[in-house]
Amino acid sequence: MPLSEQEQRLLEEMERSLYQNDSDFVARVTKRQGRPTYTSITLGVLGALVGVGVVVLGLALRQPVIGVVGFVLMLVGVLFALRPGVGSRAGRPAGRPTAKGGAGGSFMDRMNERWDKRNQEQ
């Protein structure tokens, strides 16, 4: 169900107030947005696989230090794969997605639109 005009104005007022009063929090939260890139996922998975190999090698040689190094490699690989991509949000419009049309809206907007259509048909 879409927001009424009064609710939209109230939401926009709350957003402006948040940006004005707690700009540090907004800056911290917006920095973490973004998706991992294909390259970082690939390199992270390869690093994790090398780490698994080093752990197995450490077990085969009965050297705990080599096993610990392998574990650290696995951890670094996974963290590298999950890190958000730098500039992955560049070029996207800053406005809200529209519910009109299939590709323009978010998933929830499209689902809400379909739900409304079903209810109108009944």
The whole-number pLDDT of residue 29 equals: 67
The residue extents of the domains of the chain are 36-85
Residue 122 DSSP one-character state? -
Q: How far apart are CA 122 and CA 22, in angstroms?
A: 46
Opening angle at CA 92, ends 91 and 94, nearest 5? 120
The whole-number pLDDT of residue 97 equals: 45
The whole-number pLDDT of residue 66 equals: 95
The whole-number pLDDT of residue 44 equals: 92
| pLDDT digits 0-9 by tens, 26-45 | 777 666 556 778 888 899 99
| pLDDT digits 0-9 by tens, 58-104 | 999 999 999 999 999 999 999 998 887 655 444 444 444 444 444 55
Encoding tokens for residue 112? 């809400």
